[in-house]
Structure 1
């Protein structure tokens, strides 16, 4: 025994136990929760700004037309302003391709930082561009340049931010987590409606036309800088950190992504057309055809966006339990049934209470889609493709069908001589998306990798 003990390896005595050791090995739970809250706010705030900018542009289109496209015909000026709104969507697929590529190749965080910086700068620019009467044709050119930069940023923002939320979500809560992307759409639009209604209601007409329309864009620029600062503290998602990138041919990538891209394209048609017709164009429609004042039109729109904002997380939560497809299909069917009667009632019966009730009903129908769709758009792709190709497919559909929706609505009304003509565009988009949903797989319970 003495010999064996003499030759036994010498071992250090065990370290004394301490109740403080776990705190040294594990981060404080409150700090982790605080970082998660900051990450969530950082991702969502810029999306609020994106939709605030796009909504406020449409709602202030009449003032923008007078500032940048003055002329003998107010109708032509309005069409030119809405055309700039639509042309900016041409940049969205390019933004999705490049910024989404950064998100898949270098990480979600770098792409989110670039998107926030571009959005803040271009929003400030719109608020600062001198009017046509001061710098002539340079004014609309600068407006177009700022809108193109916004479109580029927005094209990458959606897919990267949506992928970040999906990959950071707890198990079984992906629909709930990503639904906040759609909730921020409603929040941004609602803020735009409320601010526009307040400005129009409190400022004299001359002040609104001279400088009042610039206020929302300047405030939006400040919001963008705050979002950029918050995003500097983001942590990369665990799913992306665990993704091992391997070089593959372009043909292999296309074979891998073409089917989910077509599905996302078809899904987005209903969503983007409904959003831009009912939340951007409808305030103009209710003024021209429904007899509402600008303030009443924007307040009615604000109520609709509040309903969407409140319902979307609930629908996202329910879609985690019951699947995405039932809610997507219900939204399409409701819009198919409601659109024509809704526009007819606004134009022929009129009145603020009726219009607000109709917009609330349309908003609830959109919420059924908006709560479930964000998760589907990224669940269809693998992690190595998720940011880029979901962004490109979504942006292409938004550019083709959504960006020009207000322009098409105004053009159809004039071409067909009927205020109900825009309903045909909405019905066609909803029917196409319904067919797409019927043939797509359920993604709610499939693993994310």
Structure 2
């Protein structure tokens, strides 16, 4: 796999989109790969408490959890680098090359996490290798989202870009469901001691086993760029991006904030239920199932609806409702902690987020020209997720410990979504807009 720019003749001779069959193949292939990658990246959150005990031997349970979620956050530091490198590769050498590279790198990072012995065996080298694995996963994820989002809207029929593009976000929901199934099986089959000692590693190994499926289906997807779209260097891509499209980049980052915080507040609820509400692990593991379903269905519905009434109404109004619902939802959960209240609260947050969450991966790429689309959106998403997604679990853990108030995550959730609503109001409508 080369990162040299394709010539116009090479790209024109590539299997560019034609039939509806090739379009469907491209959608299915990218969604499968996206699901596998996000399974590998997010499964860490479901076993954060156990991983913390294995790699960070701290006597204070809160300190143990904080170090573990901080390691989760480290995976976001390299996302901007992955966005630049893999995004530029997609804009220079084609979407297919970038999508294949990202899934291979994700597999390498996942293998490192799954196979590294704990602190008792390796000492300080254990948490260091764990962090390296998370950094590699973050680098891969940084390039995946831009390549996948760009490909989805480019492969879609013009009148259905909202629906087709929303499959990128739906893939994250499918990853949550898959992670929930694996976690529930492991929790049910294995004794607690075995689960904490080695059982959690099986969840990562499952991701490695299914990676070849993603690699196989992506190798043959049709390309969506032509010779006129290709820049000669990564520097030229960045120069155009920050020269002509700085306003879109800035508003795009602010738009991502609310969705990022909402998503990671929801995935944090597993740790929140165990550490703050003191619910059993079996009750806490209802979160992945509920969150996954609450991503997939509302995301696809929101994408379909945006093709009919426009992107901005579907982006903005669910965020406004989420701001109003966040505090009452947390009050209900803390007043009546149970598996049922946890499931309902997760469904409210993730469902409202997902109605507009998939469209964030559609509207902003639609506003960027093809030549810088992947790099631009990958950087926008990576910066927003790096600053806010990577810090959300750490901030929430610290807030709860520092204030002693289990409702404090609600305030953070409301603030992040308020910022995004303001940015969304300032963005242009992209429904019906020509991509180039």
Normalising to structure 2: TM-score of the pair?
A: 0.91
Report the Cα distance in structure 2 between the residues aligned to 1:293 and 1:309, rounded to whole angstroms. 26
SS at match of 1:419: coil
Q: Tell me what 1:277 maps to.
A: 265
Number of equivalenced pairs: 417
Change (3 A) 1:249 1:383: closer
Instruction: Tell me the distance in 2 between the aligned counterparts of 1:282 and 1:408.
Output: 14
Query: For 1:257, which of 245, 249, 252 is the aligned residue?
Result: 245
Once the two structures are overlaid, the 10-residue window that deviates more, 378-387 or 196-205, is: 196-205
CA distance in 2, matches of 1:33, 1:174: 14
Q: Decide whether aligned partners of structure 1 residues 390 and 332 sit closer, same or farther in structure 2, where only a CA change above 3 A counts.
A: same
Give 1:297 deviation, angstroms.
1.5
The equivalent of 1:209 in structure 2 is 196
2:98 alignment partner, one of 106, 111, 124: 111
Distance 1:250 1:64, change over 3 A: closer
SS at match of 2:97: helix
Name 1:24's counterpart in structure 2.
none
CA RMSD, Structure 1 to Structure 2 (Å): 1.8
Establish whether residue 368 from structure 1 lines up as the match of residue 355 from structure 2. yes
Q: Which residue of 1 aligns with 2:166?
A: 179
Question: Which residue of structure 1 lines up, in the alignment, with residue 9 of structure 2?
Answer: none
How far residue 77 of structure 1 moved from its aligned partner, in angstroms, is 1.8
Matches within 5 A, 1:17-36: 35-36=22-23
Q: Distance in 1 between matches of 2:185 and 2:254?
A: 37
* CA–CA separation in structure 2 for the residues paired with 1:71 and 1:286: 21
One of 379, 403, 420 as aligned partner of 1:392? 379
Question: What residue in structure 2 maps to residue 353 of structure 1?
Answer: 340
The question of whether the paired residues in 1 share the 8 Å contact of 2:262 and 2:350 is answered with no
Q: What's the CA shift for 1:240? A: 4.1
Shift of 1:330: 1.4
CA drift of 1:244 comes to: 5.4
Moved more, 282-291 or 422-431: 282-291
Partner residue, 2:405: 418
1:72 Cα deviation after fit: 1.6
Contact kept? 1:301, 1:356, Cα under 8 Å: no
Is 1:293 the equivalent of 2:280? Answer: yes
Structural mapping, 1:59-98, within 5 Å: 59-98=46-85
Q: What is the 5 A alignment of 1:270-349? A: 270-278=258-266, 280-349=267-336
Q: 1:355 to 1:72 in 2, by over 3 A?
A: closer
1:242 deviation in Å?
A: 4.8
Which is higher, the Rg of structure 1 or of structure 2? Answer: 1
**What are the ranges of 5 or more consecutive residues in structure 1 without an aligned counterpart?**
1-30
Q: Distance in 2 between matches of 1:84 and 1:351?
A: 28
- The offset of 1:50, in angstroms, is 2.5
Q: Is 2:117 the counterpart of 1:130?
A: yes
1:298: how far off? 1.4
Counterpart contact for 1:131–1:139, Cα < 8 Å: yes
Shift of 1:285: 1.6
Q: Which moved more, 1:350-359 or 1:126-135?
A: 350-359
Q: Aligned pair in 2 of structure 1 residues 50, 314: CA closer, same or farther (>3 Å)?
A: same
SS of 1:90's partner is coil
1:11 maps to what in 2?
Answer: none
Q: Tell me, yes or no, if the aligned pair for 1:197 and 1:294 is still in contact at 8 Å.
A: no
Q: Which residue of 2 aligns with 1:152?
A: 139
Task: Decide which moves more: 261-270 or 247-256.
Answer: 247-256
Secondary structure, aligned partner of 1:130: coil
